[in-house]
Structure 1
Amino acid sequence: MDFTEKRLHEAAIIIDAVCPLLDDQARIADYRAGGLTAIAPTVGWWDGIGPTMRTIGAWHKLLRERDDLILVRTAVDIRKAKALDKTGIIMHFQGPAPIEDSLDLVDAFKALGVGVMQLAYNVRNRLGDGCEELTDSGLSRFGLQVVERMNQARMIIDCSHTGVRTTMDAIEHSSAPVIISHANARSIYPSPRNISDELIKEIAGNGGTVGVVGFPGFVSGDKRPTIDQFIDHIAHMCDLVGTQYISLGIDYYAGQSPYANEKTATLAYEKALSSGSWSPKAYPPPPHYYPQGIETPNTMLALTEALLRRGFRAEDIRKIYGENLLRIYQTVWGE
């Protein structure tokens, strides 16, 4: 390792925009060890308001008790976290189930610190279709109202796991940039969860970002993807639309190796299949090994080293790591 690589990594603002691994709050230590500036726990999935409020309450309690954490409400909060060697917490919903059928809950959750919400999680909901739904019918009337209310409340619209037409409707009707927090390039590996070059261009064209994801089934057909296969997605998308529209949403989660043994991971996997939230075509069976070298968040320095080896400039790495998302945060959330 060159000292230049280490200095670049330490100086950069690094944001992982999707961190379901933080269902276990003790894993914050792994992200801090990896040099992450801001991390995004999934505080809402497919549950309604009750379980979601309990999860958010647990995070607010932790934020009150720990001086090394900052609740991120604006872009300045992330820069402050970096300056003070603290970790920013970005509350993120992977789906709109917590708002149930109430537009007012968008404002309520934004007031509690939820800054980003996905419009779908693989299947159809009140707003529109997910990316693995049999149909792709676009936003419903309620979905259009939610997009408008999210704009008014200054909550970021995330179209990860969302159907193509639903995503295109969101881009058309949103007055703010729409992001895809975590998805890879389908032209590099054709998972149903990855997105087309055309959609990558549409997200970039609306001023948003696409976050590159490390879940092995989205990286390659190999059981243990390499770090270069992961970077293949970054390189392709950067060549397609420019480095200013690419970010990180690595999506480390509790069911992956080495955090879960194979028996526990298999039980959780079978539950996800039976619920219909996952499909075998998009989600291969465990064990799930994240790309070699960056198997866990505490190894993120290896990504900096590998990007430099691939010829990425320090300026572009800083954009991908955090500056691009900071631009979105500043645009939607404000300073």
Structure 2
Amino acid sequence: MNRRSFLTNTALASAALGLNLTSGGLLASTNEKRMISREQYKKWFVFDGLGVLYDINDPTGGIQDNWRMTDRLRNDLLASGLSCYRQTTGAPFPAYPGDDVFETSVSILSQHHKLIDANSDVLTLVRNFDDIIKARKENKVAVTLGFQNSHVIGSNLDHIETFKHLGILTMQLTYNGQNQIGGGANVSPRLPLTEFGHEAVEKMNEQNVLIDLSHSGVRICLEAIKASKAPITISHSGCRALADFPRNKTDKELRRMADKGGLFGVYFMPFLAPDSKATSEHLVAHIEHAINVCGEDHVSIGTDGGYTGIDDMQKVRASTDKMTQHRIDNGAAAAGEKIGNLNFMPDIVGPEQFYLLANKLAERGHNSTRIEKVLGLNAYNLMREVWG
């Protein structure tokens, strides 16, 4: 069953989650401007296609020596209404001097297991789709683990299965550079999916690992979509038609992804604005463009950020500039990533960001059913199809 057929079972999926879809019909007019209430929002499955647990105000990131989250981090996470998020793990950059990238990835992966275990009263590691349902019933946040660069498997396809057993359910084929699978956003968009890349896609399909094409070049993106037997995700990106950066996706890529039953997540990143100074106005515009191109069943969000509020914006600007400079120096930065950027939407940052986004979409006339899909139900359906 492909995802377009699968979506006809939305009511069934909602019943399993205890969700309420009666707030707006599937054919409700986009002229509806009813605000989303707190009570309604709390019933929704809210998903972040790429997030991270950290407190941007805290030098420790909000993680204590015993791997326990600080009260601030824990409280902001729970206040966000988030049901599930994908945590980046492994070694995304092409070189870790003196280290074996496989060994480094296992070590970083182990640290995320420790973090989840130490906070098991509020976090649940997702090893299969049933864990998402279980976390929902227990009022916990489900955490799925994923890589942002498949260079971690080296030339050994069996590493895909190994990492799957260690909790990796999503694998991004490339980061910004070139690897053994193909080219990322910083290199030639004409680089193809390699022969080994085709084998890797086949192996990921076999293992029910969700393939992520964020950061990919145009050609590898199109060829991987065609090669995959399962729907894919572009978990955190923007629309190139609105902001012409290599990290954003062309309409052709978006259409091919949707035709295959996949899911596009719009990030809360500076690349949404041509001048790299994005706000929620740009975020909403990219979501609307993606809906127009892909259809409302194939659009979601992937913040590429955290969930705590900002105590001192000037301090955060300084620390962000320092991190950006480090990424520029080591070759990890993408085009448009520059000093002065903020890697979040400054007007809707913090634990309220998803609820505020829901109401910004409602103000634009999107009905509650569509908003609920974008905030998480579409992702729920995709994960159920690929992992279920």
- TM beyond 0.5: yes
2:236 counterpart SS class: coil
Aligned to 1:251: 304
Q: Does 1:9 align with 2:63?
A: no
Residue pairs, 1:122-271, within 5 angstroms: 122-216=176-270, 218-222=271-275, 224-252=277-305, 258=313, 261-271=316-326
Aligned to 1:18: 50
Q: Does 1:119 align with 2:165?
A: no
Distance 1:137 1:299 in 2: 37
Distance 1:29 1:101 in 2: 42
- CA deviation map 1:114-142 (0-9, x unaligned): 11111011111010011220352211111
Unpaired runs of 5+ in structure 2?
A: 1-33, 56-60, 64-68
Which structure exhibits the higher relative contact order, with contacts defined as CA atoms closer than 8 Å and separated by 6 or more residues? 2
Distance 1:171 1:84 in 2: 36
* RMSD of equivalent CA atoms: 2.4
Q: What fraction of aligned residue pairs are identical, expressed as a percent?
A: 29
Partner amino acid, structure 1, of 2:37: E
Q: CA deviation at 1:50?
A: 1.9
1:86 to 140, 154, 170: 140
Q: Does 1:33 align with 2:88?
A: no
1:76 to 130, 138, 148: 130
Partner amino acid, structure 2, of 1:109: F
Aligned to 2:149: 95
How many pairs align?
330
Higher helix share: 1
- CA deviation map 1:105-164 (0-9, x unaligned): 110110111111110111110100112203522111111111111111111100000011
Distance 1:112 1:11 in 2: 31
From the superposition, tell whether residues 3 and 327 of structure 1 become closer, same or farther in structure 2 (CA, over 3 Å).
closer
From the superposition, tell whether residues 92 and 330 of structure 1 become closer, same or farther in structure 2 (CA, over 3 Å).
same
Distance 2:332 2:158 in 1: 26
Partner amino acid, structure 2, of 1:240: V
Aligned to 2:386: 332
Aligned to 2:3: none
**TM-score, scaled to structure 2:** 0.79
Q: Does 1:273 align with 2:328?
A: yes
Structure of greater Rg: 2
From the superposition, tell whether residues 324 and 4 of structure 1 become closer, same or farther in structure 2 (CA, over 3 Å).
closer
Partner amino acid, structure 2, of 1:71: L
